[in-house]
Amino acid sequence: MLPPQGEEPASYPMVFLVTSPRVWNHKFCPASFWFLYSDDSHLRAMIVEVNNTFDERRLYFLATKDNSRGPGVDTLRRFQHTWPKDFHVSPFNSRKRKYSVSARDPSQPSTSPNAVVQITATLLASSSRPKMVTRLWTDERPINPFTISAMQAVRLLLPWCLVGLLTYPRIVFQATMLAHRRKLPIWYRPEPRMGTIPRRPTSSERYLCPVLCAYIKQILLFAPDAFHLHLHLYLQPPTDPPNSHNHIRFSTPTAASTPSSPTIVLTVLTPRFYAILLGHRTLTSFLRCACLDPAVENHTAQIQAHPLHPVPIKSGEWGVNEELMRLISHAEVSYERSYPRNQNRPSPLLGTPLQYLLDVILAAVRPLRGGIGGVYPYPGLPWLRLGGIYSATLSVDSGGRNEDVGGKREFEGVFLDDFARSHYGAFQRVLYVAQVVRALVWEGVVRFIGGA
């Protein structure tokens, strides 16, 4: 967090954290406040960690340039700062807002032994008028966990057990009341911007990642063009330790013998990338939706040419993107000529009744694929938007026909379903169908509440 801001962590040897504890291995804290102190014990900066209900995080680094003094108990040094809001927290507020925080320095002596923490966070409308004010303060003496008795520890922990378990249900209940009774407008959750920590991938998304890699590896074996593909996966948040398996490199058969072959770099930005691929007939149309949607808020991946091995194109960034898509499309078309979709061969171990049952299950969840893709910034209640949501992006499939990436496209022959049907055995196919159903159901639930 500090190095990207041009700050050295060693410059802040002491930190005072205001947050909520983890209860029953569960923690949901809407905001945590990190007070950063220098060597001389002066408050120099603050990190405000904002969390939403979709397991996404945004860390704001705030310097002390707006510090001021006030009357009364505020004669002690206070931290004050105002900054633009660029993170989706509530479905009832857009990102075109501002935050303002005013906090008492907890390291300074207080006129009252109970008033150690005093934090006021304000959500400002675009007109700079306060829209919501939240206060956090202490009204009892601080407890030292190393000196308290067993009875004091029980009295401290028991109330937090209920708070930790009931926080999320309370949020959902209040949001339902605001949406259906108050009829407040709802903003769909956009994909996180750069600088935001996305949520952790689900087990289904982790499963679909190697399936997609296997498909890409297979189609590149039939690619008529010479190029390399560097795939930067997203299997863990950026705060976790790096993993070498998150970077995979592919090459076409003729790329090694072609020194000037270009390199395509595909970077996955959010784990939803692996869920929306279940609603596309071709890999090319899927990448167009994930990388080139007109609304940047719908981008779940980024595609670009490697700066050391660029794509031979005259000019124009859009032309470069189109050339990259052309290379992938040619590889996919060549692969489908070798494995036609209407001639998918079932595995010898997969009996006809079982395969028929799996096809019926995939057909039953077909309606859940309709809303997958770009949905930002369509307004209204989530359950009313499901029938009319579709992205403005149009792509061309291998047959030359325009394919809408939203609810109007056909679902006969989703490319990953056909790949699993052609190359997977009985156990792998059953596991694939189970994970697909799980991913689609979860995507539908999240989309219903405005989170996708």
Q: What is the mean pLDDT of the chain?
A: 77
* C-alpha torsion sign, points 218, 219, 221, 222: positive
pLDDT of 381: 47
pLDDT in tens, 172-230: 888 888 877 887 777 777 887 777 888 888 899 999 999 999 999 999 999 988 888 88
Mean of pLDDT values over 144-156:
82
- Angle, in degrees to the nearest 10, between helices 426-448 and 415-423: 160
Which pair of tokens denotes residue 201?
């991938």
Evaluate if residue 18 carries a pLDDT over 80: yes
CB atoms closer than 10 angstroms to residue 424: 19
Q: Strand, helix or coil at 247?
A: strand
pLDDT band at 151 (very low <50, low <70, confident <90, very high): confident
pLDDT of 410: 39
Tell which residue, 89, 94, 86, 54, has the closest CA to residue 184.
94
pLDDT in tens, 292-308: 888 787 888 888 887 77
Look at 343 and 416; give whichever has higher pLDDT. Answer: 416
pLDDT of 88: 85
pLDDT band at 113 (very low <50, low <70, confident <90, very high): low
pLDDT in tens, 237-275: 555 554 545 788 888 898 888 888 888 888 888 888 988
Q: How far is CA 378 from the centre of its chain?
A: 19
pLDDT of 240: 55
Task: Spell out the residues 6+ positions from residue 379 whose beta carbon is closer than 8 angstroms to its own.
Answer: 185, 186, 187, 385
pLDDT band at 406 (very low <50, low <70, confident <90, very high): very low
pLDDT of 376: 60
Tell which residue, 232, 229, 253, has the closest CA to residue 244.
232
Task: Spell out the residues 6+ positions from residue 106 whose beta carbon is closer than 8 angstroms to its own.
Answer: 16, 18, 35, 116, 117
Q: Which residue has the tokens 């992006």?
A: 393
pLDDT of 316: 47
d(C-alpha 177, C-alpha 306), whole Å: 49
pLDDT of 345: 53
d(C-alpha 191, C-alpha 290), whole Å: 11
pLDDT band at 433 (very low <50, low <70, confident <90, very high): very high
Mean of pLDDT values over 312-316:
52
Going from N- to C-terminal start, the domains of the chain cover 3-180, 196-448
DSSP assignment string, 206-225: HHHHHHHHHHHHHHHTT-SS
Evaluate if residue 43 carries a pLDDT over 80: yes
Tell which residue, 259, 280, 260, 399, has the closest CA to residue 337.
399
CB atoms closer than 10 angstroms to residue 447: 21
Which pair of tokens denotes residue 110?
């207080």
pLDDT band at 312 (very low <50, low <70, confident <90, very high): low
pLDDT in tens, 337-364: 887 665 555 555 556 788 778 888 888 8
